[in-house]
């Protein structure tokens, strides 16, 4: 074996190439400068962002849409702190990321040097793991370990902090013998689980004998690439499915057994079927408070089967009757195998089915059409957008009312078409995430659905989309307010609106979009909506922003008030008289 | 997994012997507002691993011990973790203490020290330095006995424990 002497910066880029990295998102600065030099000669496409938070969210969008780990690289200090939000977002939503940060030279660490911060300390609680590299020789191994940790087991973000002197070719500390296939050294990390087959037998027995079962599907199904296996399981058993905010698209909304999204703003049938069920089969879901409502009152009659790759999730919120720790796809496949071997004598569930269809008839998602001359209904805009875009369109949303309406009114029929910030609820997520998704899927249409509050947090990344030629489309549901907060003040603070009004006319979104190299369109009336969407769909060479002027007083319905149990679900006024 | 008796829980955690690992472990407690009563860390018979013994009050208000154990186990540098059942383990703690002791008081003091199996480490003109290796409860008792003399300085190591044979 010939040994080859290279420097840490080159070793880092070469290690990333060896991991199959095709694209990375970042912004250079002092401490990371030496690593930016070898990028010029690399096969990796680097996308220069306008803010480090954008780099992180782009890497997330890329990872969510492609299933490949997202990679971001930024410098030390403020750049590292700017990327903490995406790290935390990725941690809560289990998104595989590898983030590389520059750090001051080893000898300067702890001296309050320029742009120094304790990056590994700050990010300890928001990463699956992080590394401070102290020896250039460790770089190839640590990069390999970082990708392994980020992508296996329950995926998550991993950070590598690189002191400048171990990557700077002018520093003697940066020299290393290149190792082509370093051996990982992770004695405490065992992501593969032996699946407990006795648990699967018990689960299948419960499924077969239950009268009011519901499959409660979480984002873990998508992480495990288990959408196909799930469909088989659902069709064999004939059991209804709810897909959480993180699992939209994991099971097709158009399927007759799909009940849609449960939770605080879930539809009535999804929420109530869980609440009244006698068996919840939780697959890659974590009983988030936005799904359970008040935990003590959640699905009081339900037995729980909980399947999760992460043992720390099982029993965290609700003690399961059957716990299966393992990869969702493998567990589902084993369930399907076992079900196939058994007699198909199923419990009679005709009464449950008719109860469910009764709820669906009485409590569909609904809204009132806008009065002539008044502002648009956001739900109407989303219905038009859904109907006028290709079926495999990828949708990325920000956080707030528009996020809930998108999840409610879109019809997700393919996995990996819905990208949002579920756990952390990061405003400003959509534009950079949409850009990342588009980078990973250049041939697909990518729409960001954003609110005006969110848009003002990360809109500058539309400059990135223009300069880097990553055309996305933005449906801005502009109601001049921080809409979700307004809704809470409207419903729970006696309409005392505190600090939620943004502005009716500032900024001028059309002009702002145009100044960033995008096409800007403003839409005020319902008749203009289809035309504007059609026009945006035809534009392929640049990003488009449509400023839809929507009604500020519109509420997201249904709603389970915070702290209440799910039987307290508030339905829209037009359904209040319906029999529950 | 939860094994408790009396008012404490001992967690034994085998970790990689690397910088930053103790911060990751202790950070998990601090994030939940759980106080660590005592902590002992040292390399094991294999130099690449350290053994951390954590002594916790069992009254973890609103915090599940199983949850803490599962989440500690998720830390990449944690190789193994378990709760030791105090009834099925042998535990010891070391205390060294400097106590005020006039010449006239020393016989009584040393007599008591002998009964619990302690040692005299150092003798000064007005004080003595003693050591005792015993269970934490015996050390508690001895410490309160010494407080009658006047404790100048005291250090306890916290529990270390192994499974009973």
Q: Could you tell me if A345 and A446 lie in one domain?
A: no
Residue B34 tokens, joined: 């759980």
Instruction: Output the pLDDT for position B95.
Output: 98
Q: pLDDT at residue A336 above 90?
A: yes
Q: Which residues make beta-bridge pairs with A522?
A: A547
CATH number at residue A257: 3.40.50.1220
Q: How far apart are CA A271 and CA A253, in angstroms?
A: 15
Q: How far apart are CA A245 and CA A260, in angstroms?
A: 9
Q: Could you tell me if A32 and A172 lie in one domain?
A: yes
Active site residue A484: yes
Mean residue pLDDT across chain A: 97
Q: Does residue A430 lie within any of the structural domains? A: yes
Q: Does residue A576 lie within any of the structural domains? A: no
Q: How far is B78 from chain A (nearest CA, A)?
A: 5
Q: Which residue has the tokens 């702890």?
A: A110
Q: Could you tell me if A494 and A522 lie in one domain?
A: yes
> Using alpha carbons only, what angle is made at residue B27 by residues A143 and B95, rounded to the nearest 5 degrees?
120
Query: Residue B74 and residue A315: Cβ atoms within 8 Å?
Result: no
Q: Could you tell me if A319 and A407 lie in one domain?
A: no
Q: How far apart are CA A565 and CA A266, in angstroms?
A: 13
Q: Which CATH class is domain B8-84?
A: alpha beta
Q: How far apart are CA B152 and CA A71, in angstroms?
A: 57
Q: Report whether A69 contacts A41 (CB < 8 A).
A: no
Q: Could you tell me if A103 and A223 lie in one domain?
A: no
Domain that holds residue A76: 5-177
Domain ranges of chain B: 8-84, 89-163
Interface residue of B74, B75, B77, B82 to substitute, partner A, most A CBs within 10 Å: B74
Q: How far apart are CA A154 and CA A198, in angstroms?
A: 23
Q: Could you tell me if A315 and A206 lie in one domain?
A: yes
Instruction: Output the pLDDT for position B140.
Output: 95
State the ipTM, two decimals: 0.91
Instruction: Output the pLDDT for position B1.
Output: 38
- Residue A95: closest CA among A137, A158, A142: A158
Q: How far apart are CA A572 and CA A81, in angstroms?
A: 42
* Mean pLDDT confidence for A384-407: 98
- Residue A59: closest CA among A22, A105, A25: A25
pLDDT digits (tens, 9 = 90+) for A259-306: 999 999 999 999 999 999 999 999 999 999 999 999 999 999 999 999
Residues of B in contact with A121 (CB under 8 A): 23
Active site residue A164: yes
Q: Report whether A153 contacts A224 (CB < 8 A).
A: no
Q: Could you tell me if A83 and A136 lie in one domain?
A: yes
Domain boundary among A355, A370, A389: A355
Interface residue of A106, A148, A185, A188 to substitute, partner B, most B CBs within 10 Å: A188
Q: Which helix (H) or strand (E) holds B160?
A: strand B160-163
Query: Residue A125 and residue B27: Cβ atoms within 8 Å?
Result: yes
Instruction: Give the pLDDT band of residue A490 (cuts 50, 70, 90).
Output: very high
Q: For chain B, how long is the longest CA-to-CA vector?
A: 57
Q: Could you tell me if A201 and A173 lie in one domain?
A: no
Annotate A221-283 with three-state secondary structure. HHHCCCHHHHHHHHHHHCCEEEECHHHCCCCCCCCCCECCCCCCCCCHHHHHHHHHCCEEEEE
Q: Report whether B51 contacts B41 (CB < 8 A).
A: yes
Domain boundary among A355, A370, A396: A355
Q: How many helices (H) and strands (E) does chain A have?
A: 22, 19
* Closest residue on chain B to A315 (Cα): B67
CATH number at residue A399: 3.40.50.970
- Residue A113: closest CA among A63, A164, A72, A152: A164
Q: Could you tell me if A297 and A246 lie in one domain?
A: yes
Active site residue A52: yes
Instruction: Output the pLDDT for position B65.
Output: 86
% pLDDT > 70, chain A: 99
Domain boundary among A177, A210, A242: A177
Q: Which helix (H) or strand (E) holds A6?
A: strand A5-7
Q: Which residue has the tokens 């190789």?
A: B79
Q: Could you tell me if A214 and A72 lie in one domain?
A: no
Q: How far is B76 from chain A (nearest CA, A)?
A: 5
Domains B8-84 and B89-163 agree in fold: yes
Q: Which CATH class is domain B89-163?
A: alpha beta
Q: How far is B67 from chain A (nearest CA, A)?
A: 6
Q: Which residues touch B78 (CB under 8 Å, ≥6 apart)?
A: A188, B13, B14, B15, B25, B72
Active site residue A287: no
Q: Does residue A562 lie within any of the structural domains? A: no
Q: How far apart are CA B2 and CA A305, in angstroms?
A: 22
Q: How far apart are CA A352 and CA A359, in angstroms?
A: 11
Q: Could you tell me if A205 and A348 lie in one domain?
A: yes
Interface residue of A312, A314, A316, A320 to substitute, partner B, most B CBs within 10 Å: A312
Residue A389 tokens, joined: 């875009």
Query: Residue B70 and residue A121: Cβ atoms within 8 Å?
Result: no
Of A124, A149, A186, the CB nearest to B24: A124
Q: How far apart are CA A527 and CA A520, in angstroms?
A: 18
* Mean pLDDT confidence for A561-569: 96
Instruction: Give the pLDDT band of residue A135 (cuts 50, 70, 90).
Output: very high
Q: Could you tell me if A385 and A348 lie in one domain?
A: no
pLDDT digits (tens, 9 = 90+) for A185-218: 999 999 988 888 999 999 999 999 999 999 999 9
Rg of chain A over Cα atoms, rounded to whole angstroms, equals 25
Residues of B in contact with A187 (CB under 8 A): 16, 48-49, 79
Instruction: Output the pLDDT for position B59.
Output: 67
Q: Does residue A59 lie within any of the structural domains? A: yes
Q: Which residues make beta-bridge pairs with A242?
A: A216
Q: Which residues touch A25 (CB under 8 Å, ≥6 apart)?
A: A46, A47, A49, A54, A55, A56, A58, A59, A62, A70, A71, A72, A73, A436
User: Residue ranges of chain B with pLDDT lower than 50?
Assistant: 1-5
Q: How far is A226 from chain B (nearest CA, A)?
A: 23
Residue A478 tokens, joined: 């502009």
Long-range contacts (CB closer than 8 Å, 24 or more residues apart) made by B85-89? B85/B3, B85/B4, B85/B5, B86/B3, B86/B4, B86/B5, B86/B6, B86/B8, B86/B10, B86/B161, B87/B5, B88/B163, B88/B164, B89/B10, B89/B161, B89/B162, B89/B163, B89/B164
What is the tally of structural domains in chain A?
3
Of B27, B31, B79, the CB nearest to A188: B79
Active site residue A510: no
């Amino acid at each position: 074996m010939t040994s080859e002497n290279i420097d840490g910066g080159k070793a880092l880029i070469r290690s990333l190439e060896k991991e199959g990295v095709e694209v990375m998102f970042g912004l250079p600065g002092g401490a990371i400068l030496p690593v930016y030099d070898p990028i010029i000669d690399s096969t990796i496409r680097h996308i220069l962002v306008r803010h480090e938070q954008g780099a992180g969210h782009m890497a997330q969008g890329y990872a969510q849409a492609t299933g490949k780990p997202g990679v971001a690289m930024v410098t030390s200090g403020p750049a590292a702190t700017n990327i903490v939000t995406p790290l935390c977002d990725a941690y809560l939503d289990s998104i595989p990321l590898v983030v590389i940060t520059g750090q001051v030279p080893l000898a300067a660490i702890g001296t309050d040097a320029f742009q120094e911060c304790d990056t590994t300390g700050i990010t300890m609680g928001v990463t699956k793991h992080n590394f401070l590299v102290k020896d250039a020789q460790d770089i190839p191994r640590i990069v390999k370990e970082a990708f392994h940790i980020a992508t296996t087991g329950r995926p998550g973000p991993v950070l590598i902090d690189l002191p400048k002197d171990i990557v700077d070719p002018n520093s003697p500390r940066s020299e290393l013998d290149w190792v082509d296939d370093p051996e990982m050294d992770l004695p405490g990390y065992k992501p593969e689980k032996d699946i407990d087959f006795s648990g699967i037998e018990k689960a299948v027995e419960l499924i077969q004998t239950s009268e009011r079962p519901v499959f409660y599907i979480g984002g873990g199904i998508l992480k495990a690439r288990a959408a196909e296996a799930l469909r088989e399981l659902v069709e064999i058993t004939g059991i209804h499915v709810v897909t959480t905010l993180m699992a939209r698209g994991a099971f097709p909304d158009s399927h007759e057994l799909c009940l849609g999204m449960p939770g605080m703003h879930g539809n009535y049938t999804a929420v109530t079927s869980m609440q009244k069920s006698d068996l919840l089969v939780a697959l890659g879901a974590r009983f988030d408070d936005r799904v359970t409502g008040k935990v003590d009152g959640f699905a009081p009659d339900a037995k729980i089967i909980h399947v999760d790759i992460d043992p720390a999730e099982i029993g965290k919120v609700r003690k399961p009757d059957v716990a299966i720790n393992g990869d969702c796809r493998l567990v589902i496949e084993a369930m399907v195998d076992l079900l196939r071997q058994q007699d198909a004598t199923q419990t009679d569930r005709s009464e449950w089915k008719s109860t469910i269809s009764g709820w669906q008839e009485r409590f569909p998602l609904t809204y009132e059409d806008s009065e002539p001359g008044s502002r648009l209904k956001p739900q109407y805009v989303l219905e038009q957008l859904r109907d006028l875009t290709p079926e495999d369109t990828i949708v990325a949303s920000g956080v707030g009312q528009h996020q809930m309406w998108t999840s409610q009114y879109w019809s997700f029929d393919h996995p990996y078409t819905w990208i949002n910030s579920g756990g952390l609820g990061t405003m400003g997520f959509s534009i950079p995430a949409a850009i990342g998704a588009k980078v990973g899927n250049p041939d697909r249409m990518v729409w960001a659905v954003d609110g005006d509050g969110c848009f003002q947090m990360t809109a500058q990344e539309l400059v990135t989309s223009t300069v880097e030629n990553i055309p996305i489309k933005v449906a801005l549901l502009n109601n001049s307010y921080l809409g979700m907060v307004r809704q809470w003040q409207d419903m729970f603070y006696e309409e005392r609106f505190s600090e939620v009004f943004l502005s009716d006319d500032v900024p001028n979104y059309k002009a702002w979009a145009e100044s960033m190299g995008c096409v800007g369109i403003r839409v005020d009336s319902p008749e203009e909506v289809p035309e504007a969407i059609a026009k945006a769909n035809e534009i392929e060479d640049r990003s488009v922003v449509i400023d839809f002027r929507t009604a500020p007083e519109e509420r997201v319905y249904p709603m389970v008030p915070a702290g209440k149990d799910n039987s307290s679900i508030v339905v829209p006024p037009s359904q209040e008289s319906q029999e529950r | 997994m939860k094994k408790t008796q009396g008012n404490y829980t001992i967690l034994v955690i085998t970790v990689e012997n690397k910088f930053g690992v103790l911060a990751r472990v202790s950070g998990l407690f601090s994030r939940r507002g759980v106080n660590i009563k005592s902590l002992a860390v040292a390399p094991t018979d294999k130099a690449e691993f350290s053994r951390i013994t954590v002594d916790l009050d069992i009254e973890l208000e609103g915090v599940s011990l199983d949850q803490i154990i599962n989440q500690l186990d998720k830390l990449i540098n944690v190789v193994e973790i378990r709760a030791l059942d105090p009834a099925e383990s042998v535990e010891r703690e070391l205390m060294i203490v400097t106590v005020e002791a006039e010449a006239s008081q020393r016989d009584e003091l040393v007599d008591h020290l002998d009964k619990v199996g302690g040692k005299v480490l150092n003798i000064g003109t007005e004080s003595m330095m003693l050591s005792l290796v015993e269970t934490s409860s015996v050390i508690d008792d001895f410490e309160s006995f010494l407080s009658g003399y006047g404790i100048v300085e005291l250090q306890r190591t916290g529990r270390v424990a192994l499974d009973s044979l």
